[in-house]
Chain A
Amino acid sequence: MVSFIVQRIAQGIVVMAAMSLLVFLGVYAIGNPIDVLLAPDATQEIRTQTIARYGLDRPLYEQYGQFVWRVLHGDLGRSFVFNMPVTDLIFMRLPATLELTLAAVLGATVIGIPLGIYAGYRPQSRTARWIMAISVIGFSVPTFWIGLVLILTFAVTLGWLPAGGRGETANLFGIEWSFLTGNGLKHLLLPALNLSLFKLALMIRLARAGTREIMLTDTVRFARATGQSETTIIRHHVLRLISIPLVTVFGLELGSTLAFAVVTETIFSWPGVGKLIIDSIQSLDRPVMVAYLVLVSLLFIAINFVVDLCYVALDPRMQKG
């Protein structure tokens, strides 16, 4: 178990090193950020000064070396555009994204798993066919399009819910959260729904496939033969058995949902990191791009690690070593 953890951490470090190099080279290879920083009519003197201030005149490997050194000290540089430390910028925006992502993934899980189990338990029923139709739509229709339709329906036509923004927030642990106020919840609902539809489809499919498979096993037959009710069988056998693949997917999807939040945040003007990265790509704000990608990579590796641990905890067959 200890060797497994050590091995995983070592693997993570290697991946992080490779990622940071790739991200750095990639991001610093495009365009000339000085063009964004300065007005076209700036004098040569100001140009040189600015270049020196941001270290843009150094060789690339030196910039990378300094970059790594600074990253290890928790300093990811300053945003060219906002002129503030990137870490502050990202951590300011992160709660909004985390809130949105968690709401979406939790919603998809809490709704998707029961629907999927039902569709797998009674695959021939009419309800099951409807559930599957929803999942096909969630799977193939692009997120941004669903977002547009949601806005058009609930915000423009019906006027029930706001079309964008975070609404009122309340403070908890020194961070502002939308879900703590009624108005904030209203603002959260549509973007969370938008972001969750793909995950919902995924959860439905996985839960359905798992349930169908398990319902045909001798484990379920044996449980029935001992007189256990169908409710007991689903709660204690099916749910427990499908939880293993579902937790894996849940974890992995948490990461990819962070990525998809980029789209949802843009549509609903949700002030999270996703919107920040889109803005920074458009304005060539390189430190923000680099920091975002490095943080997302770190997050991915951390999530994968936690998922592996959950896997071991859920499946007693893995605990041998």
Chain B
Amino acid sequence: MATGQLRRFWDEFAENKVAVAALFVVLALVALALLAPLIAPQNPYDLSSLVLSDSRRPPGFVGSKGFTHWLGTDAQGRDLLSAILYGLKISLQIGLSAGAIAFSVGASLGAGAAFIGGRFEAIAMRIVDLQLSFPAILLALVISALTGQGKLQLIVALAAAQYAYFARTAHGAAVAERSKEYVEAARSTPLSSLRVLFRHILPNCLPPLIVVATVQVANAIALEATLSFLGLGLPPTEPSLGALIANGFQYMLSGRYWISIFPGIALIVLIIAVNIVGDQIRDQINPGLRR
């Protein structure tokens, strides 16, 4: 994409004030997550820094370490603000990694299937279709149950549940592309045919894939949170936003709302902001779909 094109893309994007605000929110949250070790008042993973008598304190409580817990503390006595910043980091990490893996695997499979054609294409896309008819949550649930707890396992489970969306999209775009003349011409030699795949087919699949990617990153974050909430995601020693919410759930009925609610707000702000940005990108790439 040429700079001029990018420029025009941004100008159109900037026309939608809500989308710009959402993009700002996303960037701010990413920055906060990256800076978590520097700006968080406490390292929530350092068990020695936790004081049990400070647990489940409401927002504004001044802890025994002398600083104010602006968002209160959780059942282990963690400062919630710090836990949220660290949790945000983990949620983003997992969402982005899962999205990236699903993207590469799915796009290669979809474009590759369209490129190779024949029986491989038929079988691969049939499997993809079959998988798409199953809800991602169920797949992620089963896969993470099979692979057990852990960050890597979780990323694999999410990617495995989501690659099919990318494969479907890439396949569709690649099929449209392969019928074009220059592709036909370039395929005559085996060496140049790989070149065609990487230089022509994949780049042309990119715009629709980017649209899918934004939606799927948001979905991956939501899925991760759901799995962690169900106790199938990350171990409680390294809580993501979902795990924080799950930890606080049991205390909510007794009115200690903050342990679940604040991480939850961080989570939905992140997800909604990514979705709004994604919607705007989709509208710009696919004007036909504009509502």
Interface of A toward B, CB cutoff 8 Å: 15, 23, 26-27, 29-31, 136-137, 139-145, 148-149, 151-152, 155-156, 163, 209, 252, 255-256, 259-260, 262-263, 266-267, 277-278, 281-282, 289, 293, 296, 300, 304
Name B137's contact: one of A139, A263, A281 (CB within 8 Å). A263
Name A262's contact: one of B225, B230, B275 (CB within 8 Å). B230
Interface of B toward A, CB cutoff 8 Å: 130, 133-135, 137-138, 141-142, 145-148, 218, 222, 225-226, 229-232, 242, 245, 249, 252-253, 255, 257, 260-261, 264, 267-268, 271-272, 275, 291
CB distance from A142 to the nearest CB of B (A): 4
Can you list the 5 inter-chain pairs with the closest CB atoms, starting with the nearest?
A256-B135, A259-B138, A281-B145, A259-B135, A142-B222
Chain A binding surface, main DSSP class: helix
Q: CA–CA, A85 to B206, complex, Å?
A: 51
Name A30's contact: one of B148, B222, B232 (CB within 8 Å). B148
Q: CA–CA, A256 to B67, complex, Å?
A: 47
Contact assessment for B252 and A156 in the assembled complex, using a CB-CB cutoff below 8 Å: yes
Contacts of A148 in B (CB 8 A): 245, 249, 252, 260-261, 264
Name B145's contact: one of A152, A252, A289 (CB within 8 Å). A289
17 contacts between A and B (CB under 8 A): A141-B271, A145-B268, A148-B261, A149-B264, A151-B252, A152-B257, A156-B255, A256-B138, A262-B137, A262-B230, A263-B226, A263-B230, A266-B230, A277-B141, A278-B231, A278-B232, A289-B145
Contact assessment for A139 and B231 in the assembled complex, using a CB-CB cutoff below 8 Å: no
Q: CA–CA, A139 to B278, complex, Å?
A: 13
Given A30-B148, A259-B137, A304-B133, the answer on whether A144 and B275 have CB atoms closer than 8 Å is no
Beyond known contacts A31-B148, A144-B242: 12 more, CB 8 A cutoff: A136-B272, A139-B275, A148-B249, A149-B264, A156-B255, A256-B137, A263-B137, A263-B226, A263-B229, A277-B141, A281-B232, A282-B231
Choose among A145, A152, A260, A304 the residue with the greatest number of B CB atoms under 10 Å from its CB: A145
Contact assessment for B141 and A142 in the assembled complex, using a CB-CB cutoff below 8 Å: no
Contact assessment for A140 and B275 in the assembled complex, using a CB-CB cutoff below 8 Å: yes
Chain B binding surface, main DSSP class: helix
Q: CA–CA, A163 to B291, complex, Å?
A: 38
Contacts of A152 in B (CB 8 A): 252, 257, 260-261
CB distance from A313 to the nearest CB of B (A): 21
Contacts of B245 in A (CB 8 A): 144-145, 148
Given A142-B271, A259-B138, the answer on whether A26 and B146 have CB atoms closer than 8 Å is yes
Contacts of A281 in B (CB 8 A): 141, 145, 232
Choose among A29, A141, A144, A156 the residue with the greatest number of B CB atoms under 10 Å from its CB: A144
Q: CA–CA, A229 to B64, complex, Å?
A: 72
Look across to chain B and name the residue whose beta carbon is closest to the beta carbon of A155: B253
Look across to chain A and name the residue whose beta carbon is closest to the beta carbon of B141: A262
CB distance from A268 to the nearest CB of B (A): 11
CB distance from B286 to the nearest CB of A (A): 14
CB distance from A154 to the nearest CB of B (A): 12
Look across to chain A and name the residue whose beta carbon is closest to the beta carbon of B229: A144
Contacts of B229 in A (CB 8 A): 144, 263, 266
Q: CA–CA, A163 to B254, complex, Å?
A: 12
Contact assessment for B230 and A278 in the assembled complex, using a CB-CB cutoff below 8 Å: yes
Contacts of B225 in A (CB 8 A): 142, 144-145
Name A142's contact: one of B134, B226, B291 (CB within 8 Å). B226
Q: CA–CA, A292 to B271, complex, Å?
A: 31
Q: CA–CA, A148 to B255, complex, Å?
A: 12
Contact assessment for B133 and A252 in the assembled complex, using a CB-CB cutoff below 8 Å: yes
Q: CA–CA, A304 to B132, complex, Å?
A: 13
Look across to chain B and name the residue whose beta carbon is closest to the beta carbon of A132: B291
Contacts of B146 in A (CB 8 A): 26-27, 29-30
Contact assessment for A260 and B137 in the assembled complex, using a CB-CB cutoff below 8 Å: yes
CB distance from B172 to the nearest CB of A (A): 19
Contacts of A149 in B (CB 8 A): 264
Choose among B133, B145, B147, B245 the residue with the greatest number of A CB atoms under 10 Å from its CB: B145
Contacts of B147 in A (CB 8 A): 30
Contacts of B218 in A (CB 8 A): 140
Contact assessment for B291 and A209 in the assembled complex, using a CB-CB cutoff below 8 Å: yes
Look across to chain A and name the residue whose beta carbon is closest to the beta carbon of B224: A142
CB distance from A112 to the nearest CB of B (A): 16
Contacts of A262 in B (CB 8 A): 137-138, 141, 230
Contacts of A296 in B (CB 8 A): 138
Contact assessment for B253 and A30 in the assembled complex, using a CB-CB cutoff below 8 Å: no
CB distance from A33 to the nearest CB of B (A): 13
Contact assessment for A260 and B261 in the assembled complex, using a CB-CB cutoff below 8 Å: no
Look across to chain A and name the residue whose beta carbon is closest to the beta carbon of B271: A140
Contact assessment for A300 and B133 in the assembled complex, using a CB-CB cutoff below 8 Å: yes
Look across to chain B and name the residue whose beta carbon is closest to the beta carbon of A262: B141
CB distance from A12 to the nearest CB of B (A): 11
Q: CA–CA, A209 to B288, complex, Å?
A: 13
CB distance from A29 to the nearest CB of B (A): 7
Name A140's contact: one of B231, B232, B253, B272 (CB within 8 Å). B272
Q: CA–CA, A26 to B264, complex, Å?
A: 33
Contacts of A144 in B (CB 8 A): 225-226, 229-230, 242, 245
Q: CA–CA, A142 to B225, complex, Å?
A: 8
Given A29-B146, A140-B272, A256-B135, the answer on whether A145 and B230 have CB atoms closer than 8 Å is no
Contacts of B261 in A (CB 8 A): 148, 152
Look across to chain B and name the residue whose beta carbon is closest to the beta carbon of A253: B135
